[in-house]
Amino acid sequence: MRPDYVRLPVSGNRSNDKVAAWVPLTLFEALQTADAPVDDDWEEVSAEETARRLGRSKTVALQIERYRRLARSNREVSGVEVLGVLRLVARRSDAALVFAEAGRRAGRYLARSGGAWELIRRLVPFRAVRDAMGWKLACNAAAARLGVQLSKEGKTVIASVEHSVAARATPDGSACRFYGSAVAELLRNVTSFDGALVHETCVARGDHTCRWRSVTGSGE
């Protein structure tokens, strides 16, 4: 069976670690979006200044094309390679925004993969039943593709992962925002979830697991 998930040890650089190609793809796409001038600024931004923006560089464009080809073929890349991409993003002043955008893209990718959710949405008329089926789909996708375990404590969603490439990438755990954003977006797409996930504990900060807890607008 082809390994489809993102799961790397907390320490060490094993050459045989593999990560699905759509993970670095979403990171580079988010970089490209972050560095794109807003519509009103296109005329004011010189070609030289645009070239200095990493997300608008030819290098990033070529990487996006490469990862898109690999992702279409369900290919994988080395974990060390993805670690480098995460650390590249982490050096930016807007890293939190880029990780969050990349995570949302990943979450939407997971929701679309396989086409099961589109069938559920079209064929199941009752919201409660759709939510139950969507929750099961989200649990399976998060575990198989991200190595994230989803559970519930009452109405509160709990997400946890013991070993992740993101936790290895940054000493403060900032790259883990990719995971929280990805899982939250996945849940928004396949269930009625409308909250956010708060990163309670982090392997990068010395905890045993990375753990997220859902909160709503009221803080519950």
Q: Picking from 15-24, 58-67, 136-145, 183-192, which range would have the lowest pLDDT averaged per residue?
A: 15-24
pLDDT for 60 beyond 60: yes
* Domain 18-215 class, CATH top level: alpha beta
User: Average pLDDT in the 160-172 region?
Assistant: 89
pLDDT for 36 beyond 90: no
What average pLDDT is seen over the chain? 84
Q: How confident is the model at residue 119 (pLDDT cuts 50, 70, 90)?
A: confident
Top-confidence residue, 18 or 138: 138
3-state secondary structure the chain: CCCCCCCCCCCCCCCCCEEECHHHHHHHHHHHHHCCCCHHHCCCCCHHHHHHCHHHCHHHHHHHHHHHHHHHCCCEEEHHHHHHHHHHHHCCCCHHHHHHHHHHHHHHHHHHCCCHHHHHHHHCCCHHHHHHHHHHHHHHHHHHHHCCEEEEECCEEEEEECCCHHHHHCCCCHHHHHHHHHHHHHHHHHCCCCCEEEEEECHHHCCCCEEEEEECCCCC
